Structure 1
């Protein structure tokens, strides 16, 4: 009735993409902030044939520097198939500059840029640095940017050449050469755009089936408008936690897929054992939106685990107080006492003292603003709780388990249901390589079953239900 050639997991995505980035599989282990995507996870993922990004967001420059050195030492035979994360820092824009300086100094060739709503000079600087023309006159990149986007208008900025005024300002500041600026004006800021649907952490809660086609159509129009010679590869992220989801992403036209939430339950994750155990019990409805520490004043939110934790409602309580009152002293005595007893476990003035001391060394201007403005001081104190809650989850502080902030999307529940009763249900078997290989193998099996079905072959439903197993590739 039909004849089909072989279908290998390596062939599911765009082979130009995998060749360009030194990966065997069209699969990216995404960055998870505060080192949740650890050095160990990056190394193991790259050795398994994947591309991986270290979770540098929320880490100090010194920690990130040491982590880069460790990765470079461990992956001297795979120098290109990894990168770091650069997160937008609207409250501390100087941090973007300092991190880009660090990445350039250590010749990090790939960055996954997250939470950006518009281009910033330092993102453009990284993308353009080292560009030059070859003997034939074609522009060649030295570095690659992987922006994570959830809105077409943001994607358009990264899929277009950088604004001329921004390039010239960078040249005048001595941060780019004239040749680098001229080359950058011929290419999109990024050639790999990660289309991020509903996900853990910062998310717009979009669905992949609505967002991806919109960005793909925009990509095609911009390629014609600007006459790009090289393709812009679109990746799919958010909700990637089952073979069916991986197969669907490639069917939409994704060049690669990126996983995030599910890798937090892997043995190489930086999340504590207690946090990983909480994730392993999660179902698809066990998530909630909560105020974000880095965008608290602007009302930014992140998606987190709510099963077994009181963090979401406690964080929303803090934001409600921030909206209603002009400072800590304006909070009614009963509510303030409750905060000090249940959330902060210390007087609010003591928390402010700790926060002020922290910013005096990190960013004195923020400390000064807190001293001068009661409203700013209240926001900084509340952000202390939001920041510490993720640290407690990473460190596994037992008496703070109810306050754990664990970033994840509904896909964690999908993944748990898929691995239930299989070899990947026990946490000790959830390695980043086995997760990746099983998702890819399963996606290939499901894609092949669908190909047979499209040719008129009666395929049983069980053919679309790939079960995890221990794989060697």
Structure 2
């Protein structure tokens, strides 16, 4: 089993490729025509000392590596299991795997070299003899503007950052035990966040090329795992601003059973590094329930053991489990159909979509499902989502009986009307509830509102206005506003998660007290406490939840309404790849939301916009240079153009407030940026992948950890219904195991 590896910048030397240029004359001429100089002369003689300069090194080394590989294949036809390359060498790995041809490879590395050579004010240094954790601690404690750029081996790590910090850090690393601290002869902070400007320029260039699926797996430097077919552009762009995880890449290959490594190109630099990595790597094999076949061995009776049986009966589903909606159709019509056909409850994400799109999708869902299968529609509350009345009219028109609401802090007339339209009294005087509402609660106060009937003053006002009959108003006085309520954590800047494990029992206790002291129907209480693994699912039921709610984990499924690129970014992410950004509806309360932050600048930009909002009373108080930069890089248009665009989608009441209050107008800028960034993730615009606004919380991270090494590791193999079944089955197993341990 062989892995071919290609060296990167630093392996070049005068005279390299001497035995290759004459044999591959046509290819050399092709490369010369692209770069505009004689590569053979540069490599053989280097008369002007250019070979060490980045813009010349990269094309020259790519050509020599490529020709070396072609020569090898002429002489050796052994089967190759994997390709990998160190930094620049990764382009040779992709060339060898038929992702692009020789001409494209030369063009890419020439552009890459040109852009990297433009970087100024940065530096890099090789730290020999310290491990990664020690290096990160030294950087953190001393607040150096540095980051790890290359993990070449466990004891050879390169740091990158501002030139003055690279120089100043030398004595600190040596004092902590580094054997050597070698400052490299480069002008830029390569493989760090300081290369973002050049990365964006490279993204624009890369976008013009189309790539093929690798014929042999290629290991990504950044992710230390094989390239995803859908993310080749993204991985190439990421490489410029992220560390070269060579140690992780080789360890991944060792875990796959790779034992033979062939270095192709000048020198033996990588061979020595691989030897060092092998000497410090122990491969462990773990076993878990991982395949769908294993899951299917459990019977259907196991599926419905967890949770409240009345939830399953009322909604006609097989699980006490619900897929909560994400807006803008991310929880898509296709997802709802897939769930309903498997008798699992899901809610279509209507908020943020135009009404004609919502009606089109509801027509499609009803046509596919008929009248019997369970599903619902979800809407968001808040000032920026004020079209709930129009959406609820569509639900009535299409006879949708189930509604999920998120972000509501009070009961609105539209909710009361939806509830009232489903009330029917039979001949015996018994009122049945045919329009069901499931509400999100993030506090005791939220729960108290929804566990109670609609406020009397609101019912009276609606009767006076002719919006509600007196009879139905009287019925509503004895019916809680919701049939089901689920608790969910609130995220703040200082506390990433206000624990719903505390909130859940408190809300259950409040519900039980109300049920005993009134004649109101019993409201079921569910949990959305970061449900993404069997453990958190089992814990929710152990704490008394009647049902569980998932949301973020369903984005990385085949049926989700996100782009393939966004899904591929999601399914490989872990907890460290998350960040928090303020929610535009919750500036005053300080509530945040968790987003994906893997080689992306969306979170930093969102945070800067919020800080500008916080520190200024008007857009025009901001420094003109800063305003222009934001308009050009963040918004892609002027402040005034954003306001004009918002006038077509925001309620008039909000727009009038913005005219009177500059701070409200600034909040609109933030809202616009978040909305546009979410649209980019949905459409999959590769040129702006660093600005994707993607929900990624602890549940999504836990789900990826849980599914790692299973058939569902990648989104292409995650079906939303099978994910639900697997999660509930393994939660049941987890609870049984824990209870058995406690008994023993």
TM-score by length of 1: 0.88
1:269 is the counterpart of 2:560:
yes
What is the aligned partner in structure 2 of residue 86 from structure 1? 379
Matches of 2:647 and 2:703 in 1, distance apart?
A: 39
Give SS of 1:277's match: helix
Displacement, 1:368? 4.8
Q: Deviations over 1:216-272 (max 9, x none)?
A: 0010111122223x3211111131111122111111121111111110000111111
Instruction: Verify the 8 A CA contact 1:133 1:140 in the aligned structure 2.
Output: yes
- Alignment counterpart, residue 696 of structure 2, candidates 408, 411, 421: 408
What is the aligned partner in structure 1 of residue 332 from structure 2? 38
Displacement, 1:314? 0.9
Summarize the Cα distance change of 1:67–1:323 in structure 2 as closer, same or farther, 3 Å threshold. Answer: same
Matches of 2:568 and 2:582 in 1, distance apart?
A: 24
- Alignment counterpart, residue 580 of structure 2, candidates 266, 282, 289: 289
Matches of 2:357 and 2:678 in 1, distance apart?
A: 17
- Alignment counterpart, residue 719 of structure 2, candidates 418, 421, 431: 431
Instruction: Verify the 8 A CA contact 2:345 2:375 in the aligned structure 1.
Output: yes
Summarize the Cα distance change of 1:97–1:77 in structure 2 as closer, same or farther, 3 Å threshold. Answer: closer
Summarize the Cα distance change of 1:15–1:92 in structure 2 as closer, same or farther, 3 Å threshold. Answer: closer
Aligned runs of 1:147-226 on 2, under 5 Å?
147-197=439-489, 205-226=497-518
Instruction: Verify the 8 A CA contact 1:84 1:108 in the aligned structure 2.
Output: yes
Matches of 2:623 and 2:704 in 1, distance apart?
A: 43
Instruction: Verify the 8 A CA contact 1:8 1:444 in the aligned structure 2.
Output: yes
- Alignment counterpart, residue 260 of structure 1, candidates 551, 555, 579: 551
Displacement, 1:149? 0.6
Q: Deviations over 1:113-161 (max 9, x none)?
A: 1001222222222223231322332221120000011111110111112
| Structure 2: stretches of 5+ with no match in the other structure | 1-298
What is the aligned partner in structure 1 of residue 34 from structure 2? none
Matches of 1:386 and 1:453 in 2, distance apart?
A: 47
Instruction: Verify the 8 A CA contact 1:43 1:71 in the aligned structure 2.
Output: yes
**Bigger CA drift: 216-225 or 173-182?**
173-182
Displacement, 1:384? 1.6
Structure with the larger RCO, 1 or 2 (CA within 8 Å, 6+ apart): 1
| Structure 1: stretches of 5+ with no match in the other structure | 457-473
Matches of 2:614 and 2:740 in 1, distance apart?
A: 57
Matches of 1:340 and 1:353 in 2, distance apart?
A: 10
What is the aligned partner in structure 2 of residue 460 from structure 1? none
Instruction: Verify the 8 A CA contact 1:289 1:304 in the aligned structure 2.
Output: yes
Summarize the Cα distance change of 1:280–1:270 in structure 2 as closer, same or farther, 3 Å threshold. Answer: same
Summarize the Cα distance change of 1:101–1:154 in structure 2 as closer, same or farther, 3 Å threshold. Answer: same
Give SS of 2:411's match: coil
Instruction: Verify the 8 A CA contact 2:617 2:663 in the aligned structure 1.
Output: yes
Instruction: Verify the 8 A CA contact 1:199 1:410 in the aligned structure 2.
Output: no
Determine which structure has more spread, i.e. the larger CA radius of gyration: 2
Instruction: Verify the 8 A CA contact 2:351 2:385 in the aligned structure 1.
Output: no
Matches of 1:199 and 1:59 in 2, distance apart?
A: 26
- Alignment counterpart, residue 243 of structure 1, candidates 534, 559, 565: 534
Displacement, 1:427? 1.9
Instruction: Verify the 8 A CA contact 2:538 2:734 in the aligned structure 1.
Output: yes
What is the aligned partner in structure 1 of residue 313 from structure 2? 19
Matches of 2:649 and 2:704 in 1, distance apart?
A: 42
Aligned runs of 1:110-149 on 2, under 5 Å?
110-149=402-441
Matches of 1:245 and 1:278 in 2, distance apart?
A: 23
What is the aligned partner in structure 1 of residue 107 from structure 2? none
- Alignment counterpart, residue 388 of structure 2, candidates 85, 92, 96: 96
What is the aligned partner in structure 2 of residue 311 from structure 1? 602
Displacement, 1:366? 4.2
Matches of 2:646 and 2:726 in 1, distance apart?
A: 44
Instruction: Verify the 8 A CA contact 1:199 1:409 in the aligned structure 2.
Output: no
1:323 is the counterpart of 2:621:
no
Give SS of 2:576's match: coil
Matches of 1:451 and 1:292 in 2, distance apart?
A: 40
TM-score by length of 2: 0.57
